[in-house]
């Protein structure tokens, strides 16, 4: 009887704590897309940060990319993409002799990367770049995650994931992106790397350009960490965030407080919250990650997210956190609302 009463008391205390946890509200909810939002990316306007844009995927057989302003209004659309899943942004790729900002999205049903210049969203991929050519197993070419990595020499790579794939340490494809000589982007496979549990799927990928790491969510298992530079090898550096998640591990975002410090935000999709870890790891061990805060948000069943520390006008003086939500929308949050009193 005492054990039973103790269990009831513990359950009651946990329930009370959960109920008491504040849900952070967005300051902006975007216009709705046609089908199903999935992943956003933030483009910083170099001329005027207050005119920066959010590029988001609309995940469907007849899907597309939507471009939102900082008020959440749709300002541009790209349609007729075959189930675009994730999107990422890079700055200054040399195309036709000019530095060009690009948005790159995975097109799942054609097994291609689609690439568009920013902010005009003109295609610069000659119709799309085939990925994982030669992989014939079912689903091994169905693209999901994408993250872009620019090394210290300025070489740009795409880290590409798929819905399913081998469990032998070759799940992620790393492709070099460059001008094909005609002002369009070409892709060259550099390596395949990365473990996969085989349990669910891998969708979210994030790269820390300054520290040189790539992270990805092995859903239902944890977050895996590797070197982004192919010359540093394919060994797994860490597998963390293995406990405390309700269902799937999803979106990963990196907020920077300094050259080597900041936070990793990982979506706990089933609980509508984000687990936050130190970007630099724990003192004395850069590959050890402990939760420093869990933030419950109004966004529902969130897949992808992105964050910046760049001030974006008066409404986002310390940066912007954007995440996908059910209801065909994206939510914009002030960083200070996410950070609260616990984080910088």
3-state percent helix, strand, coil for the chain, nearest multiple of 5: 10, 50, 40
Nearest to 297 by CA among 244, 333, 342: 333
Mean pLDDT across 155-175? 97
Q: Which residue has the higher pLDDT, 13 or 203?
A: 203
Q: Report d(CA 2, CA 51) in Å as an integer.
A: 62
Model pLDDT, residue 6: 45
N-terminal to C-terminal alpha carbon distance within the chain? 46
Q: Report d(CA 248, CA 217) in Å as an integer.
A: 9
DSSP 326: T
Distances (CA, A) of 240 to 207, 226, 283, 286, 342: 16, 12, 16, 12, 21
Residue pLDDT, tens place only, 317-335: 999 999 999 999 999 999 9
Domains in the chain with CATH codes: 22-339 (2.120.10.30)
Mean pLDDT across 299-306? 95
Q: Report d(CA 160, CA 90) in Å as an integer.
A: 14
Model pLDDT, residue 20: 52
DSSP 182: S
Residue pLDDT, tens place only, 190-229: 999 999 999 999 999 999 999 999 999 999 999 999 999 9
Paired residues of 115 in beta bridges:
104
Task: Name the pTM for this structure.
Answer: 0.93
Residue pLDDT, tens place only, 29-67: 999 999 999 999 999 999 999 999 999 999 999 999 999
Percent with pLDDT over 70 in the chain = 94
Q: Report d(CA 8, CA 14) in Å as an integer.
A: 10
Nearest to 260 by CA among 243, 242, 239, 283: 283
Query: CA-based Rg of the chain, rounded to a whole angstrom?
Result: 20
């Amino acid at each position: 009887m005492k054990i039973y009463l103790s269990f009831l008391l513990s359950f009651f205390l946990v329930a009370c704590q959960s109920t008491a946890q504040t849900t952070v509200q967005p300051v902006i909810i975007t216009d709705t897309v046609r089908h199903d939002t999935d992943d956003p990316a933030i483009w910083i306007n170099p001329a005027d940060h207050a005119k920066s844009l959010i590029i988001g995927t609309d995940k469907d057989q007849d899907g597309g990319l939507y471009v939102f302003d900082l008020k959440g209004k749709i300002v541009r659309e790209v349609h007729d993409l075959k189930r675009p899943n994730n999107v990422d942004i890079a700055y200054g790729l040399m195309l036709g002799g000019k530095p060009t900002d690009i948005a790159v999205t995975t097109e799942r049903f054609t097994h291609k990367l689609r690439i568009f210049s920013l902010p005009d969203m003109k295609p610069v991929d000659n119709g799309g770049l085939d990925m994982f050519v030669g992989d014939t197993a079912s689903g091994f070419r169905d693209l999901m995650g994408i993250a872009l990595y620019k090394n210290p020499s300025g070489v740009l790579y795409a880290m590409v994931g798929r819905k399913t794939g081998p469990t032998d340490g070759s799940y992620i494809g790393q492709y070099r992106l460059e001008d094909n000589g005609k002002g369009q982007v070409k892709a060259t496979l550099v390596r395949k790397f990365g473990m996969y549990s085989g349990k669910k799927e891998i969708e979210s990928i994030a790269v820390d350009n300054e520290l040189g790491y790539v992270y990805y969510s092995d859903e239902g298992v944890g977050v895996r960490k590797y070197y982004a530079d192919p010359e540093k090898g394919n060994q797994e550096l860490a597998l963390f965030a293995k406990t405390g998640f309700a269902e799937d591990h999803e979106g990963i975002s990196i907020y920077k407080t300094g050259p080597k410090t900041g936070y990793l935000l990982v979506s706990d999709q089933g609980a509508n919250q984000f687990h936050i870890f130190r970007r630099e790891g724990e003192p004395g061990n850069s590959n050890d990650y402990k939760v420093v805060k869990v933030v419950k948000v109004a966004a529902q069943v969130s897949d992808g997210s992105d964050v910046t520390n760049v001030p974006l006008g008066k409404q986002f003086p310390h940066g912007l956190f954007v995440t996908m939500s059910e209801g065909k929308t994206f939510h914009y949050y002030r960083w200070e609302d996410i950070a609260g009193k616990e984080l910088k």
